Amino acid sequence: MKVNAGARLDRLPISAFHRRIMWLIGIGMFFDGFDIYVASTVLGATLKSGFSTLGQNALFVSLTFVGMMLGSLITGFLGDRFGRRFTYQSNLVIFGLASLGAAIAPSMTILIICRFFMGLGLGAENVVGYSTMTEFVPPQARGRQQGLMAVFVVTGLPVAGLLGLVLIPSFGWRSMFVLGGLGALAVWYARKSLPESPRWLEAVGRDQEAEAIMQKIETEVALTHTLTEPVILNKVPQSRALASLFTRTMFPRMVVGCVTLIVINTLLYGFVTWLPTFFVHQGFSIAKSFTFALVMSLGAPVGSAIGAFTADSWGRKPTIIGASMLAIVFGAIYPFVSSETLLPIVGLLLVIPIYVLVALLFGIYVPELFPTETRLRASGICNTLGRGATIVTPFIVVALFAQYGVIGVLAMMIGLLIVQIVVVAWLGVEPTGRGLEEIQAGEQPVQGAHAAGDAPLSSLK
């Protein structure tokens, strides 16, 4: 029995089914973003109360990123071997329980250990969340739906900051971990209703399960929409072996995925998160520095939303290249702005295209590059290298800032963006408007073909 899950999913109109999946996966991604940013509020409180030292705080941050790097890699192999559903549920349990463990940690050492396990869950969620959503959404809306997932993540930044201001003075820093842990476990329970990816089930030969899920999805969508004929592709079988990622077809895509995620992680953790420090060293007061940084951080949801709502109309490659060029322009202007009025405005205009790239690269482009058989492993490897960059970036930034000031830091960012433009323009494929199976080499559409095993359309209306 040939299921043709990809063709049947791609012909479905956006419906309540897709919105439900987006919200359930998106809320999990929100807690991912929330917890990444919660460190900035928690560590100040632990240091002030004497619970931690500066050295322990640095270890806390370092092991977070080590955990995220390992989580990205491990989840890629688990997701392709045991399925998307198993993986996204497992990482939420790990993250949720580790968060609650952190809330009752008797010492900073135990808190750091819990944070490492939280990092494992955070790294896993970033890979499996985007990739799972990619496999359900039809090509005409995939960019928008995937980009909105990135909006969920970056919304965690202002929410973590505001909740920290409200909760920590009254309830202490432990309340932040309680909130994150309970939220993750609540999402884990709600996600139990999410189906496994029919694309993955078919790719591993579990056709009966894939067919059952497809018929259930089609029946639900047909209650409110008229279903059209699926366009079947002459699909070239894809290897499930890890070595297939290093063939002549796939290796350039691996290069694109790794380079772009290294660049965007370096932009985020080599510039955006250092903004308050840069402002203080430029002579501004701490209060004014944080005010400037807050204004510029508004570019995060704005940029992610722009990326989400333009990716399907502008195209992936033009948007990535265009946003990179805008970031270069405003990055070149930024160090020479001396006006206290213009500085946060130019900074905001710099942060917006950076977060357009966040939405495009994390949420949309990289998961689209690879076949279902190896999608999570490929995304996991790319994310692992990207997360690895965050471990070394602070040392490079400190050295450049000490020697050349903010000009040196931005020169590095501009150089990386130029590399990204060249790599995407030269090696990148254009997935916009194309089904996931069509993106893979050697596949041609067969117009008007029925999916074998499809339920009759009339029976679904």
- How confident is the model over 141-159, as pLDDT tens digits? 999 999 999 888 888 877 8
Written as one letter, the residue type at 280 is V
Greater model confidence, 251 or 294: 251
Query: What are the pLDDT digits (tens) for 377-391?
Result: 999 999 999 988 888
119 neighbors 61 (Cβ within 8 angstroms): no
Query: What are the pLDDT digits (tens) for 1-39?
Result: 688 999 999 999 999 999 999 999 999 889 888 887 787
Of 125, 138, 13, the C-alpha closest to 432 is: 138
Task: State the Cα–Cα distance between residues 266 and 65, nearest whole angstrom.
Answer: 13
379 neighbors 370 (Cβ within 8 angstroms): yes
Q: So what's the pLDDT on residue 461?
A: 35
Backbone angles phi, psi at 233, to 5 degrees: -105, 145
Backbone angles phi, psi at 174, to 5 degrees: -65, -25
Greater model confidence, 236 or 454: 236
Range of weakest confidence among 26-30, 313-317, 419-423: 26-30
Q: So what's the pLDDT on residue 393?
A: 84
Per-residue CA distances from 25 to 39, 78, 362, 381, 389 (Å)? 23, 18, 15, 21, 26
The domain 241-432 having CATH identifier 1.20.1250.20: the answer here is: yes
SS (H, E, C) the chain: CCCCHHHHHHCCCCCHHHHHHHHHHHHHHHHHHHHHHHHHHHHHHHHHHCCCCHHHHHHHHHHHHHHHHHHHHHHHHHHHHHCHHHHHHHHHHHHHHHHHHHHCCCCHHHHHHHHHHHHHHHHHHHHHHHHHHHCCCCCCCHHHHHHHHHHHHHHHHHHHHHHHHHHHHHHCCHHHHHHHHHHHHHHHHHHHHCCCCHHHHHHCCCHHHHHHHHHHHHHHHHCCCCCCCCCEECCCCCCCCHHHHHCCCCHHHHHHHHHHHHHHHHHHHHCHHHHHHHHHHCCCCHHHHHHHHHHHHCHHHHHHHHHHHHHHHHCHHHHHHHHHHHHHHHHHHHHHCCCCCHHHHHHHHHHHHHHHHHHHHHHHHHHHCCCHHHHHHHHHHHHHHHHHHHHHHHHHHHHHHHHHCHHHHHHHHHHHHHHHHHHHHHHCCCCCCCCHHHHCCCCCEECCCCCCCCCCHHHHC
The model's confidence at residue 165, banded by pLDDT at 50, 70 and 90, is: confident
Q: So what's the pLDDT on residue 285?
A: 67
Looking at the predicted structure, is the pLDDT value of residue 447 above 60? no
β partners of residue 232: 446
The model's confidence at residue 452, banded by pLDDT at 50, 70 and 90, is: very low
153 neighbors 173 (Cβ within 8 angstroms): no
Greater model confidence, 118 or 293: 118
Q: So what's the pLDDT on residue 286?
A: 59
354 neighbors 303 (Cβ within 8 angstroms): yes
Mean pLDDT of 317-336: 94
* CATH 1.20.1250.20 segments of the chain: 1-231, 241-432
Q: So what's the pLDDT on residue 37?
A: 76
Greater model confidence, 69 or 273: 69
Query: What are the pLDDT digits (tens) for 225-252?
Result: 988 888 776 666 677 888 889 999 899 9
Task: State the Cα–Cα distance between residues 323 and 328, nearest whole angstrom.
Answer: 9
The domain 1-231 having CATH identifier 3.20.20.70: the answer here is: no
Q: So what's the pLDDT on residue 453?
A: 37
Q: What is the mean pLDDT of the chain?
A: 87
Q: Which long-range contacts (CB under 8 A, 24 or more apart) does 395-400 make?
A: 396/270, 397/270, 397/271, 397/274
92 neighbors 184 (Cβ within 8 angstroms): yes
Task: State the Cα–Cα distance between residues 432 and 180, nearest whole angstrom.
Answer: 35
Greater model confidence, 305 or 279: 305
Query: What are the pLDDT digits (tens) for 74-102?
Result: 999 999 999 999 998 998 899 999 999 99
Looking at the predicted structure, is the pLDDT value of residue 275 above 80? no
